[in-house]
Amino acid sequence: MTHRILAVDDNEIVGCMLAARLWVAGYDVEVAHGAAEAFLALKRGAYDLVLMDLEMPEVDGLQALDILMRDQLCPGVPVVLLTASENFDVVQRAYGLGAKGYLTKSTDASELVKTVGRIVRTRNLVWIDDHHCVLEKEADAAGGPTFMSIASKADAEPPSEQAERLDKPPAGLVA
């Protein structure tokens, strides 16, 4: 199953770079150039994750996150904020508003793919302890909990071979 990601950044170059890195790792990525485009995209289609720039004109990432959560534009879809800043107060506010992750734009490509992979693979898991979880979709569909045994939460990390392909984006993907 290919996971769909919405990358939101007002800078076209950054948006294309994110799309290329994630596409190489096997994700289907759509780029929105600002919060307004993101809101429209979320109304049109379903996504497995939203990567959102924190510092955008008109509506910044925190304001957009607040609107997404308040208006339930993407219920159950994890949002990860991207920024050039490492301000701890902003990080706390982001998590308080419902963000599932926070990455700086200086994060290398392998860390980006690792974080995205971990979040999309575990978004429907409810951890009971370090070794057991319930897969929410199966639990709801079957009428009772379906338990899965996983050695550790680290086992949900994406395969390392995905990160090895990141330095070679396909020709023509990035303008």
Structural domains for the chain: 4-123+156-164 (3.40.50.2300)
- Distance linking the first and last C-alpha atoms of the chain: 27
Length of the chain equals 175
How far is 32 from 84, CA to CA, in rounded Å? 18
CB atoms closer than 10 angstroms to residue 37? 15
Q: Distance of CA 160 to CAs 31, 55, 164, Å?
A: 25, 30, 7
pLDDT of residue 58: 86
pLDDT of residue 71: 85
pLDDT digit string (tens) for the chain, length 175 residues: 688 999 999 889 988 988 999 999 999 999 999 999 999 999 898 899 999 988 888 888 889 989 988 888 888 888 988 887 777 788 888 888 888 888 887 778 888 888 888 888 776 555 555 555 554 444 444 444 444 434 344 444 443 333 333 344 444 444 3
Residue type, position 168, single letter: K
Does this model's pTM top 0.85? My answer is no
